[in-house]
Amino acid sequence: MAKQETKPAPKKETKPALKIVPLGGLHEIGKNTCVFEYDDEILLLDAGLAFPTDGMHGVNIVLPDATYLRENRHKIKGMIVTHGHEDHIGGIAFHLKQFDIPVIYGPRLAMAMLEGKLEEAGVRELTKINTVMPRDIVRIGKSFVIEYMRNTHSMADSFSVAIFSPLGVVIHTGDFKFDHTPVDGEHFDLQRLAEHGEKGVLCLMSDSTNSEVPGFTPSERSVYPNLERVFRQAEGRLFVTTFASSVHRINMILQLAQKYNRTVSVVGRSMLNLIAHARNLGYVKCDDNLLKPLHMVRNLPDEDVLILTTGSQGEHMAALSRIARKEHPHIKIREGDTVVFSANPIPGNTIAVVNTIDKLMMQGAK
Ligand SMILES: [Zn+2]
């Protein structure tokens, strides 16, 4: 019997799969961290932290489980950052102590804040930081090319990205809201987003707080008239608290202070830091003499003073919380003060915020 020749089956040219592994940030607020893996290369997108919820006693910050990254550290080629919120950059300093991230690309404002964080943590030398501008294209490893597209968000200098992988384009929107009248005049690059859509996209990753709620979020600009009403009506000292990172909101508050002749003292380190960076980059505009340290505004008449402070979420150690507990060394609330919370409580913070408001009111604040 003739022996049948057995040919080896022709090898199929199969490309590796593109793996997308979110380590945090989905169905939760905080610790946004996403892993893109192709072949033997890993690209990281953002690395944030979360703040502890009420039940986490003794916990200062919450980080995602990075075991996968530690185990695959040799694959990590670099990181792209979409914007400078803590829940997107707050984890980076901690990760750098555990594995290498050779290079990090991100917007100027986010990278300015990140540099400070890395320096403080003593890990500034462990990575290279590069800044990007709208429509910049960067390459990470052999497998990933990333295009930065301007978006609109509560934080200035924020981006969506198109990630070109060997299998196709992934659009990651980053955090965003469609704001057609942005305070800083930097519009969402919808045109570029649409171009990608027309050409065909492998995968869209889109997640934004309150995206399940039907309807539109009003433009950030719509806050202005309400804030202005408070400025018009407040007779004594005015306290305003908002997220330290809400650059647009802070910009509006400073503009109103200028218009209503109130000298501003900023209380809270995170807010001072952000305002300094944002002013350098032109995202916050105000006269130099508008901002004064606390000891200089103390002698001004009450109606000429604005205290801009952290603590809008009732955070225990934030300035406004300490003022409310009468623990702040330099500021005491008195009858006639007006305190404005210009931020909604993040789910989980409501009780802390309400407690702070109660304490402020008991001391005579409006
Ligand atoms: Zn954000």
**What is the domain partition of the chain in residue ranges?**
18-205, 220-362
For 260-314, where are the E strands, in sequence order? 263-267, 305-309
- Residue 14, pLDDT score: 83
Distance 79 CA to ligand 1 centre (A): 17
Indicate the CATH number for domain 220-362.
Answer: 3.40.50.10710
What CA–CA distance (Å, rounded) separates 48 from 180? 27
Distance 85 CA to ligand 1 centre (A): 5
Distance 52 CA to ligand 1 centre (A): 17
101: left (phi over 0), alpha (psi -120 to 50) or beta: beta
Phi, psi of 165 (to 5 degrees): -115, 165
What CA–CA distance (Å, rounded) separates 78 from 42? 7
- Residue 55, pLDDT score: 80
Distance 209 CA to ligand 1 centre (A): 9
What CA–CA distance (Å, rounded) separates 126 from 265? 36
Assigned architecture for domain 18-205: 4-Layer Sandwich (3.60)
Distance 267 CA to ligand 1 centre (A): 22
Distance 175 CA to ligand 1 centre (A): 5
- Residue 53, pLDDT score: 74
Distance 154 CA to ligand 1 centre (A): 7
- Residue 187, pLDDT score: 96
Residues surrounding ion ligand 1 at CB below 5 Å: 85, 175
Q: In sequence order, which residues have a C-beta less than 8 Å from that of residue 44 and are 6 or more positions away?
A: 33, 34, 35, 36, 69, 76, 78, 79, 80, 101
Please, what are the averages of pLDDT over each run of 10 residues along the chain (366 residues)?
A: 58 85 87 96 96 82 94 97 96 97 98 96 97 98 98 95 97 94 94 97 89 87 94 96 93 96 95 93 92 94 96 92 95 96 87 95 96
- Residue 212, pLDDT score: 83
Beta bridge partners of 165: 168
Distance 309 CA to ligand 1 centre (A): 20
Distance 133 CA to ligand 1 centre (A): 18
Distance 58 CA to ligand 1 centre (A): 26
The one-letter code for the residue type at 337 is D
Distance 29 CA to ligand 1 centre (A): 9
Distance 24 CA to ligand 1 centre (A): 14
Residue 84 CA to its chain's centroid (Å): 4
